[in-house]
Chain A
Amino acid sequence: MIYQRRSSPLHAARAAVASAWCVVLALVALSFDHPLVLCVLLATVVAAAAAARVSRRVLLALLVALPLALAWALINPLVMREGLTVIARLGTVPVLGQLDVTAEATAYGGVLALRTLVIIGCFALHSAAVDPDDLLRAFRRVSFRSALTAALATRIVPVLARDARRLHDAQRCLAGEPAPRRAVVRAVAAGALDRAVDVAATLEVRGYGAARRAPRGGGCPWSRHDLAFAFSAGALAVAGVAAYAGNWESFDAYPAFVAPVEGGQLWLCGALALGALLPFADRRGIEP
Chain B
Amino acid sequence: MTAALRLDRVSYRYPGTATPALRDISLAVAPGEFVVLAGGSGSGKSTLLRAASALVPHFHGGEFTGRLEVGGLDTRAHEPADIAAVAGTLFQDPETQVVMGTVRAELAFPLENRGLAAAAVARGVEEAALALGIAPLLERSTHELSGGELQRVALGAALVGRPRVALLDEPTSQLDPVAGDELLGVLRRLNEEWGTAVILAEHRLERCLSAADRVIALRDGAVACDAHPRGFLDWAAEHQPELQTPGARMFSLAGLHPLPVSVKDARRALAAARLDVDIRGQRAPDDAGGSPQHAQAVSRWRRSRAKRVEPALAFSSVWLELKGSRTVLRGVDLEIAPGERVALMGRNGAGKSTLLKVAAGLLTPTRGRLRGGRVALLLQSPGDYALRDRVGDELPAAGLAAAGLAARADRHPRDLSGGERQRLALAIVLHGKRPAVVCLDEPTRGMDRGDKGALGVLLAELAGAGSAVIVATHDAEFVAAFAQRTVLLGDGRPVADAPTADVLAGGWYFATQTARILGGAALLPEDGAALLRRETRGEAGDRALSARADG
Contact = CB atoms under 8 A, between A and B. Distances in A.
Contacts of A204: 55, 58-59, 79-81, 84
A198 B102 CA distance: 19
Contacts of A2: 141, 143
B112 A173 contact: no
Contacts of B385: 170-171, 173-174
A77 B429 CA distance: 46
Contacts of A195: 96
Contacts, number: 141
A151 B99 contact: yes
Q: Give the size category of A's interface with B.
A: 35 or more
Given A2-B143, A207-B113, A173 B80 contact: no
A208 B81 contact: yes
Interface in A176-222: 176, 179, 183-184, 186-187, 194-195, 197-215, 218
Contacts of B79: 204, 209-210
Nearest to A2: B143
Contact of A174 (B59, B80, B357, B428): B428
Contact of A206 (B101, B113, B361, B377): B113
A88 to B, nearest CB: 40
Interface stretch (A91-99, A131-139, A261-269): A131-139
B154 to A, nearest CB: 8
A4 B482 CA distance: 44
B100 A201 contact: no
Contacts of A172: 360-362
Contacts of A158: 143
A210 B379 contact: no
A184 B374 CA distance: 23
A168 to B, nearest CB: 9
B471 to A, nearest CB: 15
Interface string B348-387: 0000000001001110000000000010111101001101
A173 B114 contact: no
B433 interface: yes
Interface of B: 53, 55, 58-59, 79-85, 87, 89, 91, 93, 95-102, 105, 109-110, 112-115, 117-118, 141, 143, 157-158, 161, 357, 360-362, 374, 376-379, 381, 384-385, 387, 414, 428-429, 431-433, 435
Interface of A: 2-4, 131-133, 136-137, 140, 151, 155, 158-159, 162, 166-167, 169-176, 179, 183-184, 186-187, 194-195, 197-215, 218
Given A173-B360, A173-B376, A175-B432, 19 more contacts: A3-B101, A136-B100, A155-B99, A170-B381, A173-B385, A198-B91, A201-B91, A204-B84, A205-B55, A205-B83, A205-B87, A207-B85, A207-B161, A210-B79, A210-B114, A211-B82, A212-B114, A214-B115, A218-B118
9 contacts: A2-B141, A173-B385, A175-B429, A175-B431, A179-B387, A184-B387, A204-B79, A204-B84, A210-B81
